[in-house]
């Protein structure tokens, strides 16, 4: 929030690289209470993905404090997808990305599983 306000203020002064898209602006906002509850409770419908999500991704991606993009907070995922594409996000998942561990702790996840998990968490569908 503070970053957004600072950016808006700086934008008025003409000195800020202000966020461009609706998603970029929304991604700077903290998750809403409804998004937090959704992230805490949501599970993939598919039993295979649900088992893998629960065992591997959920511990970080359902928690606001984990600094991981939150399951169901679409804008933060769309900004990442716009930057790196599906292949880039899959690569980050396989190789690890900053505090995101290699394979997200799911060493038996296939590429199709990973795409399904990212689709579930982002709410987006891989074309
Ligand atoms: C130990 C915590 C942790 C676990 C477990 C975890 N993640 Fe993450 N994940 C993170 C964090 C933190 C980030 C943000 C990293 C950053 O942007 O610096 C992240 C980011 C991501 C991204 C975005 C990468 C990008 O390029 O922007 C994807 C995709 C992702 N995780 C998928 C998964 C999947 C799929 C699983 C389960 C198989 C999983 N994660 C498990 C912590 C975790």
Q: Tokens for 20?
A: 């461009």
pLDDT of residue 20: 83
Ligand 1, atom 40: nearest CA belongs to which residue? 104
To test the pocket of ligand 1, the residue of 27, 46, 50, 60 to mutate (highest count of ligand atoms within 8 Å of its CB) is 60
Considering only CA atoms, which of 82, 81, 2, 76 is closest in space to residue 32? 76
Could you state, in chain order, the average pLDDT of each consecutive group of 10 residues for the chain (127 residues)? 53 60 92 96 98 98 94 97 97 97 98 98 97
Q: Tokens for 68?
A: 């991981």
């Amino acid at each position: 929030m503070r970053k957004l306000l600072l950016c808006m203020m700086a934008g008025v002064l003409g000195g800020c690289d202000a966020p461009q898209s609706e998603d970029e602006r929304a991604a700077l906002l903290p998750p809403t209470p409804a998004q937090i509850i959704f992230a805490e409770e949501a599970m993939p419908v598919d039993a295979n993905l649900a088992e893998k999500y629960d065992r591997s991704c959920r511990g970080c991606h359902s928690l606001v404090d984990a600094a991981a993009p939150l399951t169901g907070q679409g804008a933060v995922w769309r900004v990442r997808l716009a930057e790196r594409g599906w292949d880039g996000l899959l690569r980050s998942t396989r190789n690890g990305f900053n505090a995101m561990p290699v394979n997200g702790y799911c060493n038996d996840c296939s590429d199709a599983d990973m795409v399904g998990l990212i689709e579930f968490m982002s709410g987006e569908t891989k074309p």
